Structure 1
Amino acid sequence: MKKKYSSYLYRYPLSLKSRLYCMLSASSIIPLVLIGMISVYSIYSILVNKIDKGLEENVEQVSLSLENTLENINYTSQQFTFNGLIGQDVYKYLSSDDLVERIKQTNQIDHNISLMNYTNPIVGMTLYYDEENNTPLFTNMQTENFQLKDLPLLTTMQGSDFYGPHESQYKNSTNSVFSLSRKFDITNDERTSNIIIYIETNFSTFENILSSMQYGMDASHVLVNSKGKVIYTENNKLFSIGSDYDVNKMKGYKTFSKESGQNWMIVALIDRNDYGYEIRKWLYTFLVFALLSLFCSIVIAVLIKKIVYKPLSKINQGISMISDTHLDVKMDASGIREFDSIIFEFNNMTNKIKKLVKKVEQEEKYKSEVEIEKLMAQINPHFLYNSLNTIQWLSRMGEQESTDRFVSLFIKLLNYNLAKGGYVVSIKEEINSLLDYIELQKIRYNNIFEVEINVDEHVWDYKTPRFLLQPLMENALYHGLEGNEGKIDVNVTKSNYGLLIVVTDDGKGMNDADIEELLTGKKKKYGLGIGLNYVDKMVKSYFGPYSKLEISSKKNKGTEIRISLHYKKG
């Protein structure tokens, strides 16, 4: 196993940057993970206990508040019974047939009810109700369609029925309240046996008791009566009024419940997402610090990379550029003595390589120029023979003027070809020589072909080697038209990179094998004997590797030769 691992490392060695990052990451992450695991476990336990205890205490407080409220209104209701302070006045009212006495008792009852409301602010609406006649007798608030049978029963104790939460019986209110009803008199007296006492809590009591704000998070309440029925819910998705209370419906919630000694139960439902907010908040805080620690490690790693890895990377980049023949590389000092020594030697080596390459290029260019000059000095004997034969033929025909013009053109071509002033000329000179050549060939072939030349006026002064265009014209005449009728177009235009020369003919065309023979010099030479292989060599030698000669041809359609030249104006 050890041998395999060593072999793998030998084949796929880790870079210095990777090693630095791995070491710094390990030194940061391992302590962070260990401390984090201990911290998360400890803080999680503390927070869970704290949250659960707080919520349990709040639910217990809600239960206690509701119990006190029910006991309070139950105690208050005793003042309204037959034996109570207000109840005695009511009994006197019901027992008397004297109108004046009844008015007196009515005023006394209203006064006592107002006094009771003032001294006991938890009490809201109070009502004496005649069940037999379905009529309210004494009330501090107006009501319509008073009904007890539709109210949700919470519990029954001490002779009283407790309801709620439900909508108030006060006709101008839709607020929720708790309420109580009980018999006014249990002696079966015919005058009082049908009288019911009804008391509500005030409108703010319900809101204070079941406020979700006291939990510090969103909570919904469920109130279950002594029969296990839901009589109030703030979460209609889980329960509906009157449904059975089922704990299996609350899987997505954390529940805290308290059973009252009054035979009812209050349940607080908290969404588990809200329940875990404090824990998540702490975890996010821990994560922020963890990321901050990692960020610091990254910053340190970057600094180390800058100090150690960056100079090495520059040296490696410089070596790569040299291997890609980019010799204009000079590295700046890094400020680190050991690296600067390497950089100094590298720059010296680069300068020596650059000088050596320049020397080799000059020698190769000189050889190329000698080859081209040698090629240009050679004139195809067939061209001389054909030209002299044409002169002889014109003389015999008595074409003195044509003979004179032909000889003049022939001398100018020879002079242009054999000139010793260097092989670089302007586009204008090259075009003029091409026109002489075309005129000479037209005389030979009795003007059976047509030539159209278009030259961009901005390129006349551009420099080019001699006889760049003439071989293209020869190719169009001999390999394209083959001495037959046809048309040749010559276009010289300025391009983004320099110059574009396009020569087209509408001759018989060539196949790929013919094109290959032209470019390699295997094809039989015509005219002055300067073939396309000369042009191809000259283009690459004089204008560099980005310049090129391209030939495209279709049988019976014609041939197009394109020369792209990358160079500056002379």
Structure 2
Amino acid sequence: MTLKKRIVILFLLCSMIPFVSIGLISFFTLDSILSNKVKKGYENNLAQVEMSLENTFTNLNHVSQQLAFEGTIGQELNELLLSQKPFERSQITEQLKSQMSLVTFTNPNIGLVLYFFTSNNSIMFENSPVKDGFSLEKLPLMAKYYGISYYGPHISNSRFDNQFVLSALRKVDLPNHDDVYIYIESGLHLTQNLFDSNQYSSDLSHLILDNDGRIAYTDLPEQYRRNDIFSNNQSGMASGSDNANYWFKIKSAQGWSIVSVVPKTKYNMEINRWYVQMTIFTLFFTLIVFLLAILLWKMLYKPLNTFNREIKQFYQHSNHTHFAIVPTRIPEFDHLLLQLRSMKEQIWELFREIENKERVKADLEVEKLLYQINPHFLMNTLDTVHWLAVMNGQTEIDKVTLALNKLLHYNLGKLGQTSTIGEEVEALNQYLILQQIRYDFQFDVQIFVNEDTMNTVIPRFILQPLVENSLYHGLSDDGYIRVQIQMTNHIEIIVQDNGAGMSPDTIHQLLNTTQTAQRKAGLGIGMNYVKRVLAAKYGDAAKLDIQSEPGIGTMIIMILPAN
């Protein structure tokens, strides 16, 4: 999988997982909240309708009490029915009409009011013309108790009103008449206003159930027919659903019930609206996240492309060609590019250093070959001289040839091979044997080496040139050479003599010249050789220093890495 795909997928996962998690949590939370909100809204609306209907029935009951026998109007009606005098009946009739008008005027929520005689279906003292065919049997009975019958919403019996009303029928207990009732309807548009005065009016339909749970009034006659038993008649607030609708029912204290019916599509509309909004928001958020992932990839692609070009330039241009760095405008990447350019410079510097060391090593090989003229023939000849000296009893000659043979065998080893401090000290001893026999004066050589350091690996043939330097710079008969080798966290080799010493110019020439000293012949390869061997083997990790004063002596200090 490419880096681009990984970045896009990882960014999408990092962004979408928290979003989806929060979305799921909010979904279940808001779904519960919205469901409760909608349900509570419908239940509260239903409670308001139920309360309004109860208030309407209470008002009808209150007015009917004024018109019953216990009230003044009821008593005057009794007098009218008992009176046989026309004038008296006329006066009582006018008084009744006046009082009836006063009652209806002081109760604006009251519509049609009349006295109904069931014995002959006659009507008296109606405050509005009554439609023909008035009959109580046609009215939807809701409840009946304490001598009062309540009728659910029905078309008004007033000739001037075709709106739905609520009505009540109350028996007037007259002493001599048992067939007199007071009939009262609610005011114009009151019932419809009760159903429409809420935020869900356009979504709700209503059913009114009588005391037995039968449907006395219905807004949905095709689904809920009048006089059918409603499926649920439990007390208090209840709710349920059928195939197409949700319903909420509340039962009044008088025993009748009111049911609000809402289609499932309307009920879930607010929740579905939230679903749509969340879906749109999720798609929009996903698009934004995807665009940000692409932008993030582009932010990474340009610096990576720059890095790729830098690396290609590194191995394609062996002449160390420089190209201008194009800023990425991202500080971290610009810093890395500068570090990469710096690393390239260091690598090229290392290449040049390695090339120089290889050249030095090649020069040393050539120089050493100058001293290896037919080495095997020379050593075989010396071995022959050694055995001739032994056979003729020439111990001095035997000693010289044996020492020379060992020294040549060690010194003519392959360049680049390593040796140990013990082997270097042994070769130095052989060299000193030859030098003491060669020169006609005695000099003291003291070698101080810790036994623990004898197996430490160092470059081959670096001690003899230092001692040779002391011999060649004015060592007298009472002279001494002190060689001290010790090791702590590095190897320290000190060669000290009490010879003629050297001037600062001579010291500077020995330490800084790049040409092989040709003043001396034989085995004295010299300081240049040691200096170049250390440079080729250790680079700057090794140090070579000369401290000398004319007439006092010289001290050569060589410090090598311990490993």
Taking structure 2 as the reference length, the TM-score comes to 0.50
Which structure is larger by alpha-carbon Rg, 1 or 2?
2
Taking structure 1 as the reference length, the TM-score comes to 0.49
